[in-house]
Amino acid sequence: MTNSRVTHSICSIVPPYLLTRLAAAEDPGRAAAAAAARRTLTTLGTVEAARSLPHPPPSRSTGTAFTPTLRRIVSDALGQEELPGTPVRSEGQPATGDAAVDETYEGLGATYHLFSDAYGRSSVDGAGRTLEATVHYGRDYDNAFWDGSRMVLGDGDGEVFERFSKSLTVIGHELAHGFIQYTAQLEYRDQSGALNESIADVFGVLVEQKLLGQEAGQASWLVGEGLFTEHVGGQALRSLKAPGTAYDDDVLGKDPQPGSMDDYVRTAADNGGVHINSGIPNRAFYLVAAALGGYAWERAGQIWYDTITEPNFPADATFAVFAAATLTAAEKRYGAGTEESSAVQSAWKEVNVMV
């Protein structure tokens, strides 16, 4: 098969609206962070433009041909903005002593095991694809992203952001973008883009919950917890449980995510608000998981997994289309009128996607 030219959107963990606020900061105590945010915003655009590279078109794999093979490669960009960097730890090799390298290596494994153990899926493509990551990308780089083939992590600026490998939900989130790439291929704009971000958040928190053995009622439901330094007024980048409450900082402002269609943000920025509006489907998933109780990766996560791996799922799906598909998936697996299908329907009604 010949390669087709496929452009993959750069799916980053830190939303542009947050970086823009930070880039404009006039607080002397955040000067280095403001400069880092400006560089990050510029670099991310450059990386996005450079990703029109030849790639085989990703197949919409459901992972039915399960091959239980975990393969990891972590590379070091050495502070440069060139990928993939120098390989520094591969599958089976001992810890290096570099926190970013070793945290990332373990995070790749934790993400693999969520999909393998819970859903019988081998890697993001369902066929044992090597999980690749690059750390120490750029200088004081305030972001992490999936570029269509690998996860890339910055070290943060030290004033506002810590190194991005510190948060397992970040690693799980970025690899989940790869999972979406090999299944529904949700377009990265408007509501389908917000679903893309939301599904990555969902599986990002499930990676952490499974590793910690947490039930739904025990989990924090935070994405990016531990990324902010002690000088920031906030816990994380996003909250699935309570969108709009993850941070409230003098420089960064208040978390603007809505948790209901009543507050849906119509904007041309950030590909039509893919990061801000992801709070709506995020809260719907939390409500399903909370209603069902137990381990969220089991029933709630299974419904979302079944939905996203359904053959011919529309890449331009709206929230309403996705909501209806999750209800269909719940009924298909558990039956109509069951606790599971009722929880799904109630959740989407509560966020005013379903009437």
Residues pairing with 144 in the sheet: 153
Strands (E), 240-324: 248-249, 253-254
Q: 121 Cβ partners below 8 Å, 6+ apart?
A: 63, 66, 115, 179
> How far apart, in whole angstroms, are the C-alpha atoms of residue 145 and residue 106?
18
Q: Are 121 and 12 within 8 A, CB to CB?
A: no
- Residues 132, 177, 275, 340: which is the catalytic one? 275
- Residues 103, 174, 225, 340: which is the catalytic one? 174
Whether 275 is a known active-site residue: answer yes
Q: Are 151 and 171 within 8 A, CB to CB?
A: yes
Q: What is the tally of helices (H) and strands (E) in the chain?
A: 11, 12
What 3-state DSSP class applies to 20?
A: helix
C-alpha dihedral over 347, 350, 352, 355, to 10 degrees?
A: 80
Q: 85 Cβ partners below 8 Å, 6+ apart?
A: 75, 76, 77, 78, 134, 135, 136, 137
Whether 173 is a known active-site residue: answer no
Burial 278-303 (b: 16+ CB within 10 A, else e): bbbbbbbbbbbbbbbeebbbbbbbbb
What 3-state DSSP class applies to 88?
A: strand
CA distances from 76 to 104, 137, 189, 261, 337 (A): 11, 7, 31, 42, 51
Catalytic residues: 174, 275
